[in-house]
A and B are shown apart, each in its own frame.
Chain A
Amino acid sequence: MLWVCLHFPALALNLVEQGLPCERPLVIEVTRRQRRLVYLCNASAHHAGVVPGMTIPTAQGLADGLTCVPRNEDAEHAALQQLGHWAYQFTPHIQCQPASLVLEVSRSLNLFGGRQPLAQRMIAQLPVGYRPFTLAFCDTAQAAVLAAQAHPPCDQPYFFRVSELHDLSVEWLAIDTPLAAQLRGMGITTLAQLLALPRDALGKRFGTPLVTYLKQLTGETPDLLTHWQLPEQFSARLDFLQEVESTDPLLFPLRNLVSRLADFLCARHCATTQLDFHWRLRTGQLLPWSVALSAPACRSSDILPLLQLRLAQTRLPAPVVGVQLQVTDLVPLPQGQGDLLTPWRSDQLSRFQLIDKLKARLGNDNVQGLAAVADHRPEYAWTGVVPGTGKAAQHPAQRRPVWLLRSPQRLTQKKDMPMLEGHLQLLTGPERIHSGWWDGQAVNRDYYVARQPSGRQLWIYRDRGDGGWYLHGVFGV
């Protein structure tokens, strides 16, 4: 067997920089025994004297304006999974190790024309944003990992035999830190020293996992091959035999895709709320066409009517030659809630369906819900929300008009008293609102409920800053 390890020593940093390239000092931090430590740092931080293992306060003392990002191991794992998916083109035998991918490639050598061409191809095709890396070939999986992790990153592949790794320090071995410390405590610092010791004696002292590991490392125990798992998300594409210029015929391929999606969701016992389509245009462009559902759905009959509505409103900028669908957002179907086919309560569902229909007709942005916000200032006491998500928030107990002016309207005054179509009679008040100093939108007002000669009740205030009277709202009769 021949193994190759692709190791990404700065994976956590890669992931952050893919999202946000950073010229300023930046570190990835981890917390160990309640201490915040530098895990990785970028060039700028390194230049300021920051090194991995340092405490964050120390690093902050060294590098002004240091940005600290907590390490996200899930993201690293997900990234490795994606890379594994990428590596699937080279071999089906792929394993994920921390910050590394290990591939068994002996059967692929013929296809790619040998080790060197294979290595060059891997390097050339490696997705952008994953540098630096180390690529090392060795006889066993563990040895390949050891070789890759123990050697500095390089654009060229390393080729080793296990015997060439014997002078490496035990620190690099894939063993627990306490175990490495114990070995050091016996003066055993290199792999060669470790391998020279009788296996039975080692097993007695350090347990069988170490012996197993050493056997795997040297090839005494053959490595097991594992097959790469199928992706966890749905993705499919359809190519059209001819260009399509109007939207009507597109329903047919959509139905096809949705039907396949429904099968997939069914198999995985999942539902989704987000369907990401792309129309492939003749020009080569991809036209994104996403459909969001207000409630998770898994059946064609729930999804297709919406697609139909959306499709009717869509204008195609150019003829379409294909469509692809990606569904990444899977939600498991609720368990044990009655009928499997009607997982959500029907009244809820119909409300969601109404919102979906309104949105489909009027456009996403034109349908809004309202929610109360806990703020003393009337203009900040409400907000627009995604329909259906507004919660009944805490509400002031005092009397408030439902109709609030977009901005308060200055009233004329006569002998210091407010006027609007005649004298205003103050019914209740003042209610003093003096708040909001922290965001630069402070108000300082005395509010009154006032009556117009017509009998209409108004909500007015006197600004305690400029002394002027303002109309802010109108009460329903």
Chain B
Amino acid sequence: MYAELFCQSNFSFLCGASHPEELLRQAAVLGYHAIAITDECSVAGVVRAHVERRKLADEHPHLPLPALLIGSVITSEEGVQCIVLAPDRNAYGQLCTLITRARRRSEKGHYCLRISDLEAATNACLFIWLPSLEQATCLLDSHTSEKPASAQACEQLMRLTAGRLWIGLTQQRDGHDDSIAQASTALARQYSLPIVACGGVLCHVPERQPLQDVLTAIRLNVPLSSAGFALQANRERHLRPLPELQTLFPADALAQTLVIARRCTFSLDELKYEYPAEVVPPGHNATSYLRELVEAGAQQRWPGGITPAIRALIEKELQIIHELHCEQYFLTVYDIVQFARSQRILCQGRGSAANSVVCFCLFITEVDPAHGNLLFERFISKERNEPPDIDVDFEHERREEVIQFIYRKYGRQRAALTAAVSTYRLKGAIRDVGKALGFDQTLLDQLSKNLSWWEKRDQLPEQLQALGLDARNRRLRQFKWLVDTLLGFPRHLSQHVGGFIISAGPLDQLVPIENASMDDRTVVQWDKDDIEALGLMKIDVLALGMLTAIRNSFHLIEQVRGQRWTMASLPAEDPATYRMLQQGDSVGVFQVESRAQMAMLPRLKPATFYDLVIEVAIIRPGPIQGDMVHPYLRRRQGLEPVTYESRDIEAILKRTLGIPIFQEQVIKLAMVAAGFSGGEADRLRRAMAAWKRKGGLEPYEQKLAAGMRERGYSADFIQRILAQIRGFGEYGFPESHAASFALLVYVTAWLKCHEPAAFCCGLLNAQPMGFYSPSQLIQDVQRHGIEVRPIDVCHSDWDHTLETDAMTLHPQQQPAIRLGLRLVNQLSHAGATRILQQRRRRPFASLADFTRRCPLTKTDSDALAHANALRSLSAHRFQARWDMQGLQHESPLVRQEQQQETPVQLPAPSAAQSLAEDYRSTGLTLGPHPMALLRQHPALRGCKRHRDLPSLRHKQFVKIAGIVTGRQRPGTATGVVFLTLEDETGNSNIVVWADLVTRYRAQVLHARLLRVKGVVEKEGDVIHIIAGHLEDITPLLGDLDTHSRDFH
């Protein structure tokens, strides 16, 4: 029997060549008694191995599995290498603290440990010392009086860890085995230490050694051919079979591995999370305080009284929360949300537990459970016995305030961001492996370029062929294997966008903390999957641009109308709002503004809040790939009868007309229709989320199919359900998320419908965000009859503002939007502030007055003239620029008449020049659209406008031209590209099928002005043009600066 105590996974980053899961599984196959994952100054990989072990135990309940030991290998600053192992919970805490200390001292990705650090509380840890030959020689030589620092540090290590120290003996058959064995034996005799066998494992099987070599070359940033002795001489550093180990190591050394392993009883399952205590005020316990807050909130939410149904729901939820002991979780989230509300920062919760009555009463969510027929199925379940999950979105510009509040309140010892493990993607893998193999840079550029968002990776052989390479060539076979294997390997830990872990005691006794690349940020060594797998609590503090836009809009409405709206106080189920959405009029509206959503709205015709929930969830890659959209639409439009396979199914799928749309429904289906237990269904949910990355859905599929067959469901139905589950992948939307998003859809749609000027202005001030550029948003609002006034130093603020001409605004009237100085390219905020300060004192009388009072930098004044923002003070922008520059170079000390210069009158810009300047300086124009100027050009003869399309017949031939403002290549539609062409009347959607994309690659990718010949495709109000011929007519634009936004 043997326990491997020295084993690094790929979480030692560019060192180990196997996943922790693979190591654990291989140790099980080889019949090891235990395996320690000892990544370098890190425990980042241990949870993966732990989860793998749990999974193996599930799959093979009778198989003896190796114990998983937690440890880390560390090389001290003095050059002493040792393995630290955690035998119990106490020692584990000490290990975490030790790693934290070593990591916090250094910049991201590095660590610094001194042997003297072991003095502070490591008395429970076990140590294996890995002496180098030099250290051994030094220590064994009795004649040297002066010992070097590293040898002294070794002796210090022995002093500090007496009774808990072993000498690690490695045997790698590299020609040093005998000398190492002799040195170890001598050291053991001299210091009376036991010897223990160590594998020094870097990969789980010898076949991984080539990848290990490649990782070494990547780490050193040299090709393999120059990596020299940094590479391993052979493939010995893998998990070796027991008989082989017996020939390599003395029996005693092998027996000691078991001695150590038996002392290590700690399991990650022991980590019990304790919630922060300060959220409960004195005189309360968590239960009573939560109840008090919920009751108070319910009073506010339902001032007219609570219906019995709501009352029952409150009681049920509080009961579950109590049974799961997670009151403090809700109180912690409440605390954070309360802070945001006190600062008037808009926020909205989502996640499994967010859309509960309790959260509604705590103001964590604004989704009113009384509004829709939401079923809170996935609200925390007792069976799953895991902590609830609430993500909270905050206004993107103010989230940092919330993050700083959390650090302030709980301290950096107790609050940290979770890690995000960045892993190798195809492009990086190709680049790094290619470099290691010494491939030509140009070739690698081409490989990674062509694969980026155009081609999928199963086309690699064809790609190679196109580059004149033979995929059967040995080097290319190696290359492909290495790239494939490297995919998904962790590269480094970075910070998660907003996943916080907050603990009751010091966090660094739960998990090591290290520095993030951003100043003032720290991350823990586990990512959110790890934390979820261990059942620890986290809160996602996320940033959402749309919340900023909503708050901006509310604020603007209050300014011009004196009316104060909140998300909760907007009139519910407003018919005008739904009428607008039904027409696909949704530019700027949250979530439903994309091309696909816009095309769906007129078909789905949402009329209630729940329709929005479905709309949000259904136009996602998952449901589209699972072919759920069209069946749902047909049923909704009454073209297909709504049928259910059984009464059980009906109960689950009734609210989505028999089509599973939400993740919760799939889980429920597995339980009801295939007899999955709660735990199994939950594992299915995880597997669904991960299968795109890792695969591993097959066992569940077989079980599902078998379970459903047993219960008499038809083969056809089973196949359909399986396809839908596969389609869900990681894109499937839980109903609670969809409900939270749907609320924002409703709020923004209401704003767009009733307060279009304020909404557009609010969106513009929240830029950059969303799907559309300021130019597109402004064109849209102009088409809705809102006046948009140009940037003007005499009227504009920094932000865009609303202007009313009369003192009071009639309720039916809309204010005008005055564009703000923030739109001016190159204008500094400081310069703009100076202008606004001076204008507040008194208006500018002339350009000379302006220049004198606002001493701007040359860049600033140029930018203003360029954007024609001096329009009230000068004849036109050319003249303004000329005059400004003249005025600026005048010195106030020299008398005016001495610097009189010959006055110059420059000609005014032409329409095309103005347009070009507008685009270049602000990215948009309020003057004529470029297409309006080009309309008379012979090249556009016979081209229709967007406005003309509705009058055309289905399948009619059409010629249309416009500026390409969007290119989309959805992952769901193989090879199709959707182009958006903008002209002076609106945006037209062009569909370019895959074969055409190949033929017109240059046009599809690069044309800014495009002429398309094609066929009109009409379905109800939805119009597409199927392209047949594309022509790049960009040269007509001259130097107009219109850039498309490319969405991936």
The reply to whether chain A is a binding partner of chain B is yes
What is A's interface to B at a CB cutoff of 8 Å?
A: 49, 56-58, 60-62, 64-68, 182, 185-188, 197-198, 200-201, 204-205, 373-376, 394, 396-399, 428-435, 437-440, 446-447
Interface string of B469-508 (1 = CB under 8 A from A): 0000011001000000000000000000000000000000
Nearest A residue (CB) for B884: A205
Inter-subunit contact A204/B886 (CB<8 Å): yes
Closest Cβ–Cβ distance, residue A58 to chain B (whole Å):
6
Chain B residues with Cβ below 8 Å from A440 are 474-475
Kindly list the 10 A-B residue pairs having the minimum CB-CB distance in the complex, ordered from nearest.
A374-B228, A431-B175, A398-B175, A187-B878, A434-B234, A432-B173, A432-B234, A205-B885, A376-B233, A198-B902
Closest Cβ–Cβ distance, residue A397 to chain B (whole Å):
7
User: Is B191's beta carbon under 8 Å from chain A?
Assistant: no
Inter-subunit contact B229/A187 (CB<8 Å): no
Closest Cβ–Cβ distance, residue A183 to chain B (whole Å):
10
- Among B308-316, B655-663, B690-698, B998-1006, the stretch that binds chain A is B998-1006
User: Is B225's beta carbon under 8 Å from chain A?
Assistant: yes
Cross-chain contact of B1002 among A60, A62, A428 (Cβ < 8 A): A62
Instruction: Determine the distance from Cα of A374 to Cα of B225 in the docked complex, in whole angstroms.
Output: 9
Instruction: Determine the distance from Cα of A56 to Cα of B437 in the docked complex, in whole angstroms.
Output: 23
Chain B residues with Cβ below 8 Å from A185 are 862, 865-866, 877-878, 881, 917
Inter-subunit contact A187/B478 (CB<8 Å): no
Having A198-B902, A205-B885, A398-B174, one finds 15 other A-B pairs with CB under 8 Å, namely A58-B1006, A61-B454, A62-B1001, A67-B442, A182-B881, A186-B882, A187-B907, A201-B902, A204-B889, A376-B229, A399-B175, A431-B173, A432-B173, A435-B234, A439-B225
Cross-chain contact of A434 among B209, B224, B442, B1005 (Cβ < 8 A): B209
Instruction: Determine the distance from Cα of A399 to Cα of B437 in the docked complex, in whole angstroms.
Output: 30
Nearest B residue (CB) for A69: B442
Chain A residues with Cβ below 8 Å from B235 are 434
Nearest B residue (CB) for A430: B173
Inter-subunit contact B881/A434 (CB<8 Å): no
User: Is B468's beta carbon under 8 Å from chain A?
Assistant: yes
Closest Cβ–Cβ distance, residue B414 to chain A (whole Å):
41
Cross-chain contact of A397 among B176, B227, B232, B885 (Cβ < 8 A): B176
Inter-subunit contact B901/A201 (CB<8 Å): yes
User: Is B450's beta carbon under 8 Å from chain A?
Assistant: yes
Interface string of B309-331 (1 = CB under 8 A from A): 00000000000000000000000
Chain A residues with Cβ below 8 Å from B475 are 440
B209, B233, B885, B1006: most-surrounded residue (chain A CB, <10 A): B233
Question: Interface size of B by Cβ–Cβ distance < 8 Å?
Answer: 57
User: Is B401's beta carbon under 8 Å from chain A?
Assistant: no
Instruction: Determine the distance from Cα of A200 to Cα of B234 in the docked complex, in whole angstroms.
Output: 79
Closest Cβ–Cβ distance, residue B867 to chain A (whole Å):
11
Instruction: Determine the distance from Cα of A440 to Cα of B230 in the docked complex, in whole angstroms.
Output: 19
Closest Cβ–Cβ distance, residue A462 to chain B (whole Å):
13
Nearest B residue (CB) for A36: B445
Inter-subunit contact B449/A61 (CB<8 Å): yes
Inter-subunit contact B210/A438 (CB<8 Å): yes
Closest Cβ–Cβ distance, residue A315 to chain B (whole Å):
41
Cross-chain contact of B233 among A58, A66, A429, A435 (Cβ < 8 A): A435
Interface string of B994-1020 (1 = CB under 8 A from A): 000000011001100000000000000
Closest Cβ–Cβ distance, residue B910 to chain A (whole Å):
9
User: Is B251's beta carbon under 8 Å from chain A?
Assistant: no
Inter-subunit contact B1002/A432 (CB<8 Å): no
Cross-chain contact of A398 among B176, B442, B865 (Cβ < 8 A): B176
Inter-subunit contact B901/A60 (CB<8 Å): no
Cross-chain contact of B174 among A56, A182, A431 (Cβ < 8 A): A431
Closest Cβ–Cβ distance, residue B870 to chain A (whole Å):
13
Inter-subunit contact A61/B450 (CB<8 Å): yes
Instruction: Determine the distance from Cα of A429 to Cα of B234 in the docked complex, in whole angstroms.
Output: 14
Known: A56-B445, A187-B906, A438-B478. A396 touches B229 (CB 8 A): yes
User: Is B518's beta carbon under 8 Å from chain A?
Assistant: no
Chain B residues with Cβ below 8 Å from A398 are 174-176
Chain A residues with Cβ below 8 Å from B517 are none
What is B's interface to A at a CB cutoff of 8 Å?
A: 173-176, 178, 209-210, 213, 224-236, 437, 442, 445-446, 449-450, 454, 466-468, 474-475, 478, 862, 865-866, 877-878, 881-882, 885-886, 889, 901-902, 904, 906-909, 913, 917, 1001-1002, 1005-1006
Inter-subunit contact B210/A437 (CB<8 Å): yes
Chain B residues with Cβ below 8 Å from A374 are 226-230
Inter-subunit contact B233/A432 (CB<8 Å): yes
Chain B residues with Cβ below 8 Å from A434 are 209, 233-235
Closest Cβ–Cβ distance, residue B133 to chain A (whole Å):
8
Known: A65-B467, A374-B229. A198 touches B901 (CB 8 A): yes
Closest Cβ–Cβ distance, residue A10 to chain B (whole Å):
21
Closest Cβ–Cβ distance, residue A401 to chain B (whole Å):
13
Inter-subunit contact B467/A58 (CB<8 Å): no
Chain B residues with Cβ below 8 Å from A65 are 446, 467-468
Chain A residues with Cβ below 8 Å from B210 are 437-438
Known: A186-B881, A431-B175. A394 touches B467 (CB 8 A): no
B173, B210, B886, B908: most-surrounded residue (chain A CB, <10 A): B173
Known: A201-B901, A204-B901. A61 touches B1001 (CB 8 A): yes
Instruction: Determine the distance from Cα of A182 to Cα of B233 in the docked complex, in whole angstroms.
Output: 64
Nearest A residue (CB) for B226: A374
Chain B residues with Cβ below 8 Å from A66 are 442, 446
Chain B residues with Cβ below 8 Å from A49 are 1002, 1006
Inter-subunit contact B901/A200 (CB<8 Å): yes
Inter-subunit contact A201/B445 (CB<8 Å): no
Instruction: Determine the distance from Cα of A204 to Cα of B213 in the docked complex, in whole angstroms.
Output: 65
Nearest B residue (CB) for A374: B228
Chain B residues with Cβ below 8 Å from A68 are 442, 445
Instruction: Determine the distance from Cα of A60 to Cα of B1006 in the docked complex, in whole angstroms.
Output: 13
Closest Cβ–Cβ distance, residue B248 to chain A (whole Å):
11
Closest Cβ–Cβ distance, residue A54 to chain B (whole Å):
8
Instruction: Determine the distance from Cα of A439 to Cα of B1005 in the docked complex, in whole angstroms.
Output: 39
Inter-subunit contact B889/A205 (CB<8 Å): yes
Instruction: Determine the distance from Cα of A373 to Cα of B227 in the docked complex, in whole angstroms.
Output: 10
Closest Cβ–Cβ distance, residue B667 to chain A (whole Å):
43
Chain B residues with Cβ below 8 Å from A373 are 228
Closest Cβ–Cβ distance, residue A47 to chain B (whole Å):
12
Instruction: Determine the distance from Cα of A398 to Cα of B210 in the docked complex, in whole angstroms.
Output: 23
Instruction: Determine the distance from Cα of A67 to Cα of B442 in the docked complex, in whole angstroms.
Output: 7
Closest Cβ–Cβ distance, residue B447 to chain A (whole Å):
10
Closest Cβ–Cβ distance, residue A22 to chain B (whole Å):
13
Nearest A residue (CB) for B908: A187
Closest Cβ–Cβ distance, residue A451 to chain B (whole Å):
16
Instruction: Determine the distance from Cα of A58 to Cα of B442 in the docked complex, in whole angstroms.
Output: 13
Inter-subunit contact A375/B1001 (CB<8 Å): no
Chain A residues with Cβ below 8 Å from B1001 are 61-62
Closest Cβ–Cβ distance, residue B460 to chain A (whole Å):
16
Nearest B residue (CB) for A377: B233
Inter-subunit contact B907/A435 (CB<8 Å): no
Inter-subunit contact B878/A438 (CB<8 Å): no
Chain B residues with Cβ below 8 Å from A58 are 1005-1006
Chain A residues with Cβ below 8 Å from B446 are 60, 64-66
Instruction: Determine the distance from Cα of A397 to Cα of B175 in the docked complex, in whole angstroms.
Output: 9
Chain A residues with Cβ below 8 Å from B175 are 396-399, 429, 431, 447
Inter-subunit contact A61/B878 (CB<8 Å): no
Instruction: Determine the distance from Cα of A312 to Cα of B943 in the docked complex, in whole angstroms.
Output: 86
Inter-subunit contact B225/A438 (CB<8 Å): yes
Known: A376-B233, A434-B234, A438-B225. A187 touches B909 (CB 8 A): yes
Chain B residues with Cβ below 8 Å from A431 are 173-175, 233
Instruction: Determine the distance from Cα of A430 to Cα of B177 in the docked complex, in whole angstroms.
Output: 9
Cross-chain contact of A186 among B466, B468, B878 (Cβ < 8 A): B878
Instruction: Determine the distance from Cα of A120 to Cα of B588 in the docked complex, in whole angstroms.
Output: 66
Chain A residues with Cβ below 8 Å from B1006 are 49, 58, 62
Instruction: Determine the distance from Cα of A375 to Cα of B231 in the docked complex, in whole angstroms.
Output: 9
Inter-subunit contact A438/B174 (CB<8 Å): no
Closest Cβ–Cβ distance, residue B382 to chain A (whole Å):
54
Inter-subunit contact B174/A64 (CB<8 Å): no
